[in-house]
Amino acid sequence: MIDPAILFTALSIGFFGSTHCLFMCGGIASALSFAIPLPQNRWKVAAYPILFSLGRISSYAVAGAILAGLGGQIRIWIGDTGVVLFRSLAGLMLILMGLYVANWWGVLSHLERAAGGVWKQISPLIETLKPIDRLWKAYTIGAIWGWLPCGLVYSTLLWSSITESTTEGALTMLFFGLGTLPALFSTGVIAKHFQLFFRKNITRQFAGAFIILFGIWTLLGPMLISSHHKTHAALHAF
């Protein structure tokens, strides 16, 4: 059974982490909007940004399923050590991501730059699909966009790798992607208000602190729960 708390947390990480998404992907979203030839039916023009995001989120879900499957296999091979290892890596990445989002320490920018070579190999595929005059092109471009190197996505993917199944890993990344939607619908007055909100220092710091706290919980949660159960058992022993 899929834990609703995991999905809600993934949604929250996506939403609060959108301060980073605007920096990384805001320009891409705007450029794609300008690549839509006009005139076209109004409903069709409105559908393109939705399909960009659906494609992007689909790639997140596929990556989540793959990582959860690999994580499950590694845990089978090396036992409980694998659980501890994956949880530790996920917690550490979330803490580093929180520091990055809050502008307190930008160490993950080095990881994104290191992975930029992958994006240079993939991104030319987008150019072959322009002009964006078909709905399937918008979805396909979004699916390619989903593989853009991003510390926030990497952090959440590592966290999704400790879920119980490929389905839960996919859903975790799906809900994470849904959380990023408000910031990345880059057209209209409402989007501008969202962008102003996410770019405020206080918003970035609150979002970073939230992600750091969840990273600490991911890192230390099992130890805290185990300690609580041992204390509870000891009290009942008297």
Cα 91 from Cα 93, distance rounded (Å): 6
Quote the pLDDT of residue 167. 94
Number of domains in the chain: 1
The model carries a pTM of: 0.81
Taking the C-alpha atoms of residue 205 and residue 101, their distance in angstroms, rounded to an integer, is 7
Using CA atoms, how far residue 198 sits from 17, 19, 21, 130, 191, in Å, is 9, 5, 10, 30, 10
For the chain, how long is the longest CA-to-CA vector?
79
Predicted confidence (pLDDT) at residue 223 exceeds the cutoff of 70:
no
Residue 22 sits in which domain range?
A: 4-237
**pLDDT at position 139:** 95
**b/e sequence 26-46, b meaning 16+ C-beta within 10 Å:** bebbeebbebbeeeeeeeeee
pLDDT tens column, 140-166: 999 998 888 788 888 889 888 888 889
The phi and psi torsions of 36 (rounded to 5 degrees) equal: -85, 115
Does the pLDDT at position 230 exceed 50?
Answer: no
For residue 116, name the pLDDT band (cuts at 50, 70, 90). Answer: low
Q: Does 125 score more than 60 pLDDT?
A: yes
CB 142 within 8 A of CB 53: yes
Please give the average per-residue pLDDT across 177-203, as a whole number.
72
Lowest mean pLDDT among 70-74, 102-106, 192-196, 203-207: 192-196
Most confident of 90-104, 181-195, 214-228: 90-104
**Higher-scoring residue by pLDDT: 238, 152:** 152
- DSSP secondary structure letters along the chain: ---HHHHHHHHHHHHHTHHHHHHHHHHHHHHHHHTS-SS--HHHHHHHHHHHHHHHHHHHHHHHHHHHHHHHHHHHHHTHHHHHHHHHHHHHHHHHHHHHHTTS--THHHHHHHTHHHHHHHTHHHHHT-S--SHHHHHHHHHHHTTS--HHHHHHHHHHTTSSSHHHHHHHHHHHHHHHHHHH--SSHHHHHHHHHHHSHHHHHHHHHHHHHHHHHHHHHHHHHHHHHHHHHHHHH-
Query: How is residue 29 written in tokens?
Result: 């979203």
Residue 166: predicted pLDDT: 93
Cis check for the bond before 39: say yes or no (omega within 30 of 0).
yes
Q: Is the pLDDT of residue 60 over 90?
A: yes
Q: What is the pLDDT of residue 168?
A: 93
* DSSP-assigned letters across all residues of 30-50: HHHHHTS-SS--HHHHHHHHH
Mean pLDDT of the chain: 79
Find the mean pLDDT for residues 16-23: 73
